[in-house]
Structure 1
Amino acid sequence: MSEGGSVKRSRCFPAALLAVTALGAFNAAAQEPPLIRFGRGFAAEEQVWLMSARPELTPNQGKKYQLKQILFQANPERFQAFLAGELDGGTAPGLAVIFARAQGVDMKIVASVCLEAAGREWFSTTYMVKDDGPVRSAKDLKGGTVGVVGIKTATDLWARAGLLNASVVPDKDAKIFPMGFPGMGDAVRTGKINAGTFVEPFYSAEMARGGLRKLFTAVEAVGYDHELLDIWFGEKFLKAHPDTVRAFLADYVAVTKYYLANTAQAKRDLHKAGFVRTPLEIYLKNADWKRDPAARVDVASLDKLSKFMLEKLQWLEKPVDVRQMVDESYLPRQ
Structure 2
Amino acid sequence: MRTHHRSRSLATALAALTVLAGLAGCSRADSNAAPAQNAGAAGEVRLGFFPNVTHAPALLGVKKDFFSKELGSTKLTTQVFNAGPEEVNALLGRSLDIAYIGSGPAINAFTKSKGAIQLVSGAVSGGAQLVVKPDITSPEQLKGKTLATPQLANTQDVALKKYLAGAKLTDQVKITNLDNPKTLDAFKKGDVDGGWLPEPWASRLVNDAGAKVLVDEKTLWPGGRFPSTVVIVRSEFLQQHPDTVRAVLKGELAANEWAKANPADAKTVINGALKELAGSTLTPAVLDRAFSGIELTTDPIAAEFPQLAQDSVTAGVVKQVVNLKGFADFGALNDVLKAAGQPAVDAPALTK
TM-score class normalised by the smaller sequence: 0.7 to 0.9
Change (3 A) 1:95 1:57: closer
Change (3 A) 1:47 1:56: closer
Change (3 A) 1:280 1:220: closer
The alignment of Structure 1 onto Structure 2 pairs a total of residues equal to: 291
Gaps of 5+ in 1: 1-29, 117-123
- Alpha-carbon separation, structure 2, partners of 1:153 and 1:266: 27
Cα shift readout 1:175-223 (whole Å, capped 9, x = no counterpart): 2222222233443454423332343323333333353221112234567
Corresponding position of 1:25: none
- Matching of residues 289-300 of structure 1 within 5 Å: 289-293=293-297, 295-300=298-303
- Alpha-carbon separation, structure 2, partners of 1:304 and 1:151: 19
1:72–1:78 contact (8 Å) kept in structure 2: yes
Corresponding position of 1:329: 331
- Matching of residues 231-270 of structure 1 within 5 Å: 231-270=231-270
**SS of aligned partner of 1:265:** helix
Cα shift readout 1:275-308 (whole Å, capped 9, x = no counterpart): 5632463454233243354x12111111111022
2:130–2:196 contact (8 Å) kept in structure 1: yes
Change (3 A) 1:202 1:266: same
- Alpha-carbon separation, structure 2, partners of 1:127 and 1:283: 16
Cα shift readout 1:16-72 (whole Å, capped 9, x = no counterpart): xxxxxxxxxxxxxx9985311111211121221222212267642224x33221212
Gaps of 5+ in 2: 1-38, 343-352
The structure having more radius of gyration, on CA atoms, is 1
- Alpha-carbon separation, structure 1, partners of 2:184 and 2:270: 25
User: How far 1:95 sits from its partner (Å)?
Assistant: 0.6
Does residue 208 in structure 1 map to residue 207 in structure 2? yes
Letter in 2 for 1:255: A
Cα shift readout 1:60-103 (whole Å, capped 9, x = no counterpart): 2224x332212122333322222222211111111101112222
1:127–1:214 contact (8 Å) kept in structure 2: yes
Corresponding position of 1:147: 148
- Matching of residues 120-269 of structure 1 within 5 Å: 124-131=127-134, 133=135, 135-168=136-169, 170-171=170-171, 173-221=172-220, 225-269=225-269
2:104–2:158 contact (8 Å) kept in structure 1: no
Q: 1:54 aligns with which of 33, 39, 64?
A: 64
Change (3 A) 1:327 1:254: same
Corresponding position of 1:4: none
**SS of aligned partner of 2:47:** strand
Change (3 A) 1:254 1:73: same
**Percent of aligned pairs with the same amino acid:** 23
Change (3 A) 1:221 1:187: farther
Change (3 A) 1:40 1:188: closer
User: How far 1:136 sits from its partner (Å)?
Assistant: 2.1
1:55–1:61 contact (8 Å) kept in structure 2: no
Corresponding position of 1:14: none
